[in-house]
Amino acid sequence: MARIYLDDAASAPLLPQVRSLLAALEWANPSSPHAEGRAARAALDRARDRAAAALGVPALDLFFCASGTQAVNLALLGAGRRLPRERSIVTWTHEHQAVLGAVRQLELEGRSVHLLEPDSSGRADPDQIPSSAGLISLGLANNEVGSLQPVSEVGERARHLGARFHLDACQGPRWLAPDLEACDLASFSGSKLGALGGLVYAANHGRLEPLWAGGPQELGRVPGREDLAAASALALALERCSGERAPRAVEAAAQAARLQGALARAGGRMTGSKIRLPNLASACFPGRRGEDMVMALDLAGLAVSSGSACASGSLDPSHVLLAMGFSLADAGSSLRLSVGWETSDEEVSVAESVIAQVLGGGDERG
């Protein structure tokens, strides 16, 4: 049986157009003065212009980098280190580890930090934000349970407080347009879009401290040789998203609903909000271990993920589910299935049958 990939939320397969682009791309250094270098520089400038047009922002407000995690760190550390000492940094305990790690680093450097709790559906409450906030970070959508966040409301609260608002848009732009007018900073991940690399949006040409020393690349924000391949691939993927996300989201929502039903019939309890990414189905299975279910489904031909992570032989419960109020046992019993642009209805039908066979619950399909 051919394998079925249902882990688009972790990493989307490269778009066919991206594969073709990478095969045809020249690989000269964009900082070199010779003809090949100048051609590479022109291609990098085109990539920035295309990404800016797709996002509806000025090209000089965009900085290419190596990954989504690096983009989050550049935005948060770059802005947080410029923050007046009397202002605090605010985020929520269910955010991605890249956000939490960057915030912890700022706390180690002496910055005041507030870690707020989400509600039981994995959504943030803008009213929790303290008046001392100077930098606020929130995800567009939670990466584990798919809950969409109140971005415009948090943006309004940030403006009222005179705080900068960072939107972690690594998860979600494939399916819905991020509201960049509501934020001052945003981070993107190419791997979630069928591309490569990362990207930071920083309004007004980016008042950011660079993470490293070493050169003038990316206006000094990201020193080192520019990755023309990643930048070009990410720009292409953003263009595809802006033109195709609406119909793709409708198709994905129908497929994800079928998978959510299959998880429920197998004994799963839905996690996250009903206001969620259209391509994602998630559930916890009390009394079971997430990693065991992931491996059993993997052996049966389905690539899925769990909210828990196995590192060095020890099973860690999902920090997202713990933040949402789940018990320690239930937080280690989650599954996340996410469809992508290339997922077919036939594959979803097979996945429903496999879930029923491996996890139980019969083979009724709605």
Catalytic residue numbers, as ranges: 310
Q: Which of 156, 206, 207 is nearest to 183 (CA)?
A: 156
Half-sphere exposure for 182 (CA within 13 Å, toward CB): 20
Tokens of 216: 């003038």
Q: Which residues, including other chains, have CB under 8 Å from residue 254's CB and lie 6 or more apart?
A: none
Q: Count CB-CB contacts under 10 A for residue 325.
A: 14
Cβ–Cβ < 8 Å for 133, 110: no
Integer angstrom CA distances of residue 302 from 263, 288, 336: 13, 18, 12
Helix (H), strand (E) at residue 63: strand 62-65
Output the CA–CA distances (angstroms, integers) from residue 196 to 21, 22, 80, 168, in the order listed.
Answer: 12, 10, 26, 17
CA nearest to 336, candidates 58, 155, 72, 141? 141
Q: What is d(CA 52, CA 201) in angstroms, rounded to the nearest whole number?
A: 9
Torsion of the alpha carbons at 142, 199, 98 and 223, rounded to the nearest 10: 180
Q: Which residues pair with 24 in a beta bridge?
A: none
Closest C-alpha among 243, 145, 254, 144 to residue 193: 243
Q: How many CB atoms lie within 10 A of CB 306?
A: 25
**What whole-number distance in Å separates Cα of residue 32 and Cα of residue 41?**
8
